[in-house]
Structure 1
Amino acid sequence: MKALLLAAGLGTRLKPLTKIWPKCLMPICGRPLLEYWLGILKQQGIDDVLVNKHYYADIVSDFLQRPQFKDWVRSVYEPELLGTAGTLRKNADFFRENTMLIAHADNLSCCDFSDFISHHHNRRPPDTAITMMIFECQIPTSCGIVELDEKGVVIDFHEKVSNPPGKLANAAVYIVEPEVLKWIEENPHLTDFSTEVLPHFIGRVATWKNNNIHRDIGTVEMLTKAQTDSCSLPPWDDLDLWQQNFMKHPIHKSLSLQSKKFIP
């Protein structure tokens, strides 16, 4: 299995924080968000990973050149954002004939990823080509809500509608079979995965529910809440130069100041 971590976003809703630091590397309990994702993938034995970059690409590149990542994580720069489908198509040779895990690296997901992967390989309904992680959204009007059949297969999508039919939402974490990439290549006009690719596969998208933590850290309020989430990484060993510079970076003070608006 290979993986794509989408880390190129502008983080518009996180301003002013993203004026000085990329969204994908925002501190979560003192550690950069992208480090959580790479730790998850490494733990699951996924050691062939592609990260796309655009905004503050130089900072993301420096992060990925650290010794613990540089031998198994590749990165690609997008001068113009391609959308998830566009990124997959552009890098089709990297993924071809492989099952892929795709995740938006500006979300925080803490759950049993081994069970998520096992569900895709061993328990998803026959003839499904995608397994989508879902979660219970507390504000359904702000999420992409899914409707499921009795087998947990997606039968309809409702993207940020005023009267959603439930609370189960797309977490934007997927495991995808090679035929999906093949279809994307056959349709070169496609750019967006959730609104253009997924609808084509309605009836063939299995689901797995994350009952632990899934959080979009796209606003200062949500990023503040993430600081209390019970996700863990092993403690840092000897600090490398990147870690030392990160710990001194003004982003920590800026986040602390911005967070005060949301702390009772």
Structure 2
Amino acid sequence: MKAMILAAGYGERLRPLTDVRPKPLCPVVNVPLLDYWIRRLADEGVSEIVINAHHLADQLEAHLARSRWPVRVHLLRERKILGTGGGLRNALSVLDDGPFLAVNADIACDVSVKELFRVHQDSGAPATLLLCRSERFDSVRVNTAGNRIEEFERPARHSGSHLHVAGTRLWTFTGVHVIEPRILRNLPKGVPHHIIDLYEELICQNNPPAAWCVPDLWWREIGSPDAYWALNRECASNPKKLLPQGGNDHGPVFVHPDARVDPDARFQGMVVVGAGCRIAKDAFLEDVILWENVRVAPGVSLRGCIVTDGVRVETDHRNEILLADGRVMKRPS
């Protein structure tokens, strides 16, 4: 099996965090989702992975070069962003002729990749999409049997309700799908294309993608600062360890082994401290995420904050996002 991790996007809704890092490298309990997917796919038997890059591509390249991975990993830079369909078409020379997995790098879920491939092979369809329930993102209508895509509801037709006008419950496309390469070959290489447009063309040709509907699937996305915060909180607080966690586990507190915390610093609630951080005497942190190489001065109080790479914190902050360029922005709460 081969796979492609889609990592080229700008992450507009996740700004200002994506002004600092590309979305796949934004850490969840000190571990980027990109790392989670590479190791998860390797554990599931994937032998080779392609990752596309555009926004802050140098960071992605450097990150991949710093680590040893359990499978072969290729990075494909896009000089202009190609969208999901265009990015997949651009990678076909590496992905070969068999069905392959595609997954968005900004989501996490507990899908069985092997089972998804089995469902796809049994379907005979040009692609198979993993669907779940989320209400907020429910926008895909399936047939009565629940095994074929009938329609992708567009925002103009889908005004926030998770019920279709005919009363049919809609589903969320997880960003995880198995694709037959032949359906991409007619797309012009190097030209932006949206994969949903291609799937809609297949529906019009009476050759729709298959659906694998898993109503109780654990699925999360980090498309916005509040979603990013919520996933960190969920993973830090859940003893089941939904995702790999980077640091010493003391309840909802995770301190990276390369961080240094003064014995007189105090933590409360969820606290994640990244590599290279230094927390000084009498600092107080409550519900805080520190990325890497953050310095917190003596006596400083941080509550409900996300502090990005390299920030020196000299004053108190509450419910804010702090960036190394000096910007301080309100965090949705």
Whether these two folds match at TM > 0.5 is yes
> Match for residue 58 of structure 1?
58
State whether residues 148 and 156 of structure 1, in contact with CA within 8 Å, keep that contact through their aligned partners in structure 2: no
Cα distance between partner residues in 2 of 1:22 and 1:3: 20
The one of 212, 223, 241 equivalent to 1:208 is 212
Question: Which range moved further: 149-158 or 202-211?
Answer: 202-211
1:64–1:70 contact (8 Å) kept in structure 2: no
| Partner SS state of residue 184, structure 1 | coil
Q: Given the alignment, which residue of 120, 125, 128 partners 1:128? A: 125
Between the two structures, name the one with larger relative contact order (CA 8 Å, sep ≥ 6).
1
> Offset at 1:33?
1.2
Corresponding residue number in structure 2 for 1:173:
176
When structure 1 is superposed on structure 2, of 51-60 and 151-160 the one drifting more is 151-160
Aligned to 2:185: 182
What CA distance in whole angstroms lies between the structure 1 residues aligned with 2:27 and 2:180? 32
Q: Distance in 2 between matches of 1:174 and 1:51?
A: 15
State the shift of 1:146 in Å. Answer: 2.5
After TM superposition, give the deviation of residue 28 of structure 1 in Å.
1.0
Matches within 5 A, 1:244-255: 244=275, 248-250=292-294, 253-254=307-308
**Contact 1:47–1:73 (CA under 8 A) maintained in structure 2:** no
Mean Cα deviation higher: 127-136 or 163-172: 163-172
Match of 1:83 in 2: 83
C-alpha distance after superposition, 1:68-111 (max 9, x if no partner): 23961110111210112212222321123121101111122233
CA 1:67 to 1:24, structure 2 compared with 1: closer, same or farther past 3 Å?
Answer: closer
8 A Cα contact 1:146 1:169, kept in partner: no
How far off is 1:115 after superposition?
2.2
Q: Which is further off, 254-263 or 9-18? A: 254-263
Are the structure 2 counterparts of residues 154 and 57 from structure 1 closer, same or farther at C-alpha, using a change threshold of 3 Å?
same
**1:192 has 2:194 as partner:** yes
Larger radius of gyration: 2
The structure-2 alpha-carbon separation of the partners of 1:153 and 1:40, relative to structure 1 and needing over 3 Å to count, comes to: same
CA contact (8 A) 2:141 2:151 kept: yes
Find out whether 1:48 has 2:43 as its counterpart: no
Q: Deviation of residue 177 (structure 1)?
A: 1.5
TM-score by structure 1 length? 0.83
Cα distance per residue 1:189-212 (max 9 Å; x no partner): 661101x21112224311123423
- Aligned residue for 2:107? 107
Amino acid at match of 1:206: A
From 213, 227, 231, the equivalent of 1:226 is: 231
Unaligned runs of 5+ in 2: 236-240, 249-255, 259-273, 278-290, 295-304, 310-318, 322-328
2:28 matched residue in structure 1: 28
Q: Is the 8 A contact 1:52 1:77 kept in 2?
A: yes
Distance in 1 separating the partners of 2:115 and 2:70: 27
Q: Secondary structure at the match of 2:184?
A: helix
Give the root-mean-square deviation of aligned CA atoms. Answer: 3.1
Count of residues paired in the alignment = 254
**CA offsets 1:129-169 (integer angstroms, 9 cap, x no match):** 211011112224xx532233315111222123215512312
Separation of aligned partners in 2, 1:245 and 1:50: 30
Which range moves more in the overlay, 44-53 or 210-219?
210-219
Question: In 2, are the aligned partners of 1:101 and 1:176 still within 8 Å (CA)?
Answer: yes
Which region of structure 1 is more displaced relative to structure 2, 64-73 or 84-93? 64-73
Whole-angstrom distance in 2 between the partners of 1:115 and 1:233: 22
How far apart are 1:8 and its partner, in Å?
Answer: 1.0
| CA distance in structure 2 between the partners assigned to 1:172 and 1:151 by the alignment | 18
Aligned partner letter, 1:233: P
> Which has the larger strand fraction?
2
The alpha-carbon distance between structure 1 residues 144 and 68, as it changes in their structure 2 partners (threshold 3 A), is farther
Shift of 1:188: 8.0
Are 2:135 and 2:172, in contact at CA under 8 Å, matched by a contact in 1? no
Alpha-carbon distance, 1:252 to partner: 5.6
Q: In 2, are the aligned partners of 1:3 and 1:50 still within 8 Å (CA)? A: yes
Q: 1: distance between equivalents of 2:245 and 2:228?
A: 21
Give TM-score, length-normalised by structure 2: 0.67
